[in-house]
Amino acid sequence: MSEQDKPKKTLSLKKTTTADVDPAAPPKLRSGARAKVALNRLRQQAADAPAQEEPTRPTSRSAASKRPAGRSNSGPQGDRGRSDRPRRPAAAGEQRDRSERPNRRPTEGASFSRNDRNKEHPQRRSVAYDAPARTRNDDERPTRRPHPRDDAPRSGGSFRRKPESGFSTTQQFPVFAPCPQGMEEVLEAELQALGYENAKMGKGGCHFTTDWQGVLKANLYSRIATRILIQLAKAPVHNEDDIYALAHATPWEQWFGPDDTLRVDTSAIRSPMQSLQFCNLRTKDAICDRLREREGARPSIDTVRPDAKVHLFLDATSATLYLDTSGESLFKRGWRHNKGEAPLRENLAAGLLALSDWDPSAPLMDPFCGSGTILIEAAWIALGAPPGIWRPFHFERLRIHDDRMWRDLKEDARSRIAPKLEAPLVGYDLDPAVIDAAKRNLERAHLTPDTVRFEVGNALEALPIAEEGWLISNPPYGERLKGNQEAFWRDWSAWLKQHYAGWNINVITSDLTLPNQMRLKPKRRIPLYNGSLECRLFSFEMVAAGYR
């Protein structure tokens, strides 16, 4: 048989007929990103259709079942998006034009995303409109329960809109940066060094004013702050209704919309309000009511991974509303997965280095290194690596976000990172498993193994790595320190006096009697808090033929 006589292979597609559709079956509900696109398209068609003077009878269930598959008006939320008004019969020419239009519906199995459109038409991207690609799967997003007023008419099209014309990223925002208690002075110095000359220390943090680029820069570079909060509203309040009125008057639609998830947190100091939970509820209701009035729908509530997080702070006479631009706390750099028994937060470790006056070009040791938090943080400081360079932020999900501005900031920050350290950083610990965890953290922090040297060793036998340098550590105490504690501290003190002359010794501990047990007089003692645990940072200056 010749090649021409062989039958050619063909591919046929079987179409679904109306006979295959079960009339008694409920309408298929769609979910996910494609369902949102389809639902928005139906709303746009309903908004564009001209109103008729006489409504027709509702379509019967049997008639609805005869519609072609995939043409049902039922969206993810039932008949809420269906329009009972009849469609205008199209003219012959109009029918021909419609038949000649390409089918723009996604094919079966295809994914539909905003990023795909931007790849095909990069000139269409609007940085004030499109949100960046989400790192979370759609399945992780909780399904919103229907609200009694969800059948209110929605404005056609997508909910993600541009901010109003009077809103600009160049305008100045009042900002509050909270920090660990006792670190306010260090944070003020850090912010001023970053260029925020109007930064002023307050209780629990610092206040300053900056533009939107300054907000991004503070999130990227601050090592001490816990988060960066933009103050959106503040007013005197006497009851919960005043809180509702303040939140309802705040233009939330400039920052997020109904398609974003929301979380509201409330804290207070000497507030006369009877229930903070009720204040939190009234704030949430006001935000949802305003967005419903402006954009036709309300956001869902997600207390785990929200798209927008609002903070309500109450004092004796007033209420302040903040928008969280950081998301997860800034001390979560993204590299510490393995923790020791009593780990320090990363921003507290950075604060210890600053309070100890450590010179980034000088040697540093930690004889009780644990998971390596102090030394890895010191390596990032010495190299000039921004603490937020490898983590996501909540401001990337806001409507005002300028993706190009953020990308340029990170590229400039990466270009300033030094290639190597000038001085050695060394850590010791008795537990080999803890040393392995520290090495894994070092790798996740994008640092080479020669950047910080982690070794199994005893603090009572660790020799100094240079003639002068800094020793900064969070030693074990209480139940974590086995054996005779007084004997251990006495022996370690004798070892320091013998071998560490010319070194600056800095120890953070919750044992306020530690200097007495070491028989050393501290040069400084600084009150700090490791979470809710009250601690002290003791500084000792070791000198030859004696101690101070």
pLDDT tens per residue across span 2-28? 555 555 544 444 444 444 545 565 555
Domain residue limits at 280: 173-324
Distance of alpha carbon 117 from alpha carbon 284, whole angstroms: 34
Mean model confidence pLDDT for the chain: 78
Pairing verdict, β 200-202 and 524-530: unpaired
Comparing 246-260, 435-449, 533-547, the range with the smallest average pLDDT is 533-547
pLDDT tens, position by position, 475-521:
986 555 665 678 899 999 999 999 999 999 999 999 999 999 998 99
22 within 8 A of 64, measured Cβ to Cβ: no
Q: Is residue 543 domain-resident?
A: yes
Of 125, 176, 112, 119, nearest in space to 402 by CA: 125
The CATH number linked to 363 is 3.40.50.150
Domain boundary (270, 292, 324) is at 324
Residue 104 lies in a domain: no
Q: What is the pLDDT of residues 133-176, one digit of tens each?
A: 334 443 444 444 444 333 433 333 334 455 554 567 789 999 99
CATH number where 184 lies: 3.30.2130.30
Residue 229 lies in a domain: yes
pLDDT by residue (tens digit) across 268-308? 999 999 999 999 999 999 999 999 999 999 999 999 999 99
**Dist CA 464 CA 441 (whole Å):** 24
pLDDT over 70 percentage in the chain: 68
Query: What integer pLDDT is reported at residue 426 of this predicted model?
Result: 97
The confidence score (pLDDT) of residue 68 equals 40
14 inside domain: no
Q: How far apart are CA 18 and CA 23, in angstroms?
A: 9
Confidence check: pLDDT of 415 > 90: yes
Ranges assigned E (strand) in 315-446: 318-324, 364-366, 425-429
The model's pLDDT over 33-76, given as tens digits with 9 standing for 90+, comes to 566 666 777 777 777 665 444 444 444 444 444 444 443 343 33
Nearest to 42 by CA among 4, 8, 75: 75
Tell me, yes or no, whether 299 and 423 share the same domain.
Answer: no
- Residue-wise pLDDT for 430-442, tens only, equals 999 999 999 999 9
Same domain? For 228 and 362 the reply is no
For helices 240-248 and 276-295, what crossing angle results, to 10°?
A: 30
Query: Is 354 part of a structural domain of the chain?
Result: yes
Residue 190 sits at φ, ψ, to 5 deg, of -65, -45
Mean pLDDT check: name the lowest of 57-66, 364-373, 538-547: 57-66
Structure tokens at 296: 């036709």
101, part of any domain? no
In a domain, 4, yes or no: no
Domains held by the chain: number: 2
pLDDT at 96 over 90: no
CA atoms within 13 A on the CB side of 103: 4
User: Residue 542 has what pLDDT?
Assistant: 86
Give 91 or 209, the one with higher predicted confidence.
209
Under the banding of pLDDT at 50, 70 and 90, the label for residue 466 is very high
